[in-house]
Amino acid sequence: MSNFTVKAATRTALGRRVRALRKTGVVPANIFGKKMKSLSIQIEIKALKEILKKAGETSLIDLVVDTGKAHPVLVAGYAQDPVSGELLHVDFHEVDLNVKTTAMVPLKPVGESEAVKAGNVLALQRNEIEVEALPADLPSEIEVDITVLTEVGATIHAKDLKLDRSKVALMVEDDEVIATIQEPAKEEEVVAAAPAEGEAAAAPTEGADAPKADEPKKE
């Protein structure tokens, strides 16, 4: 069982009829998995937004279709309107609770760095990291404690991340850089060089003929 449950209904509206379905406050979705045939479902948008906000894309969700059994699923992907940002469609992946799976988990910086407070820059090398775990053990996020970054050059590596390694494995090298402290970029001041004494101030305009010293005047 997961900590998140959402109810859904079998969807009969397909193709062009899906647009009318959205106008009623319902989002079309699909469930797919190795041990099941793809299932078209629909979920009330309010309930869906709430569960996605809480569970994110890595927490296990129990998806109850009609009055049947709960499907243990992870969010496989979703589509949004490019203008309004409204959810258009969601894909759920049914998982085997006894088989490990991989997922990209968000990294969340926590705490305050003395080096940053002194005016330096926190450089995050990645916003998420790939992990492997049983579906029920997948973390919703991994905290990055930046209080240890006290000076320029200080670095946090993957091996420094705090998580239960008996349940969750990082799918990157231990020396992978997660965050580091850098000096702020210095703005280069560009100063135009003044013409030397006796030097011509300006060149002739492109396309104009330069005057010739000994050329006779035309009358």
Q: What's the confidence (pLDDT) of residue 28? A: 94
Is residue 31 in a domain?
yes
Same domain assignment for residues 15 and 66: yes
Same domain assignment for residues 114 and 172: yes
User: How many structural domains are present in the chain?
Assistant: 2
Same domain assignment for residues 122 and 82: no
Same domain assignment for residues 73 and 115: no
Is residue 191 in a domain?
no
Q: What is the mean pLDDT of residues 140-145?
A: 94
CATH number of the domain at 151, please. Answer: 2.170.120.20
Q: What's the confidence (pLDDT) of residue 13? A: 85
Domain extent, residue 9, equals: 4-94
Is residue 153 in a domain?
yes
Grade residue 197 by pLDDT with cuts at 50, 70 and 90. Answer: low
Is residue 139 in a domain?
yes
Same domain assignment for residues 115 and 60: no
Query: How many other β-carbons are positioned within 10 Å of the β-carbon of residue 35?
Result: 7
Q: pLDDT by residue (tens digit) across 24-51?
A: 999 999 999 998 999 999 999 999 999 8
**Contacts for 49-52: CB closer than 8 Å, 24+ residues apart:** 49/87, 51/4, 51/6, 52/78, 52/90
Residues 163 and 160: their CA atoms lie apart, in Å, by 9
- Asked which of 94, 116, 142 is the last residue of a domain, the reply is 94
CATH number of the domain at 28, please. Answer: 2.40.240.10
Residues 80 and 88 sit within 8 Å (Cβ to Cβ): yes
Sort 140 into a burial class: Cβ within 10 Å, 0-12 / 13-18 / 19+: middle
Is 90 exceeded by the pLDDT of residue 54?
Answer: no
Is residue 152 in a domain?
yes
Is residue 189 in a domain?
no
Same domain assignment for residues 14 and 78: yes
Q: pLDDT by residue (tens digit) across 65-83?
A: 997 889 999 999 999 999 9
Same domain assignment for residues 111 and 87: no
Q: Please tell me whether the overall predicted TM-score, pTM, comes out greater than 0.85 for this model.
A: no
Is residue 205 in a domain?
no
Q: What is the mean pLDDT of residues 104-109?
A: 94
Residues 75 and 28 sit within 8 Å (Cβ to Cβ): no
Is 80 exceeded by the pLDDT of residue 192?
Answer: no
User: What Å distances lie between residue 65 and 8, 71, 160, CA to CA?
Assistant: 5, 8, 41
Is residue 214 in a domain?
no
Instruction: Label residue 207 left, alpha or beta by phi (over 0 means left) and psi (-120 to 50 means alpha).
Output: left
Same domain assignment for residues 88 and 106: no
Q: What's the confidence (pLDDT) of residue 219? A: 46
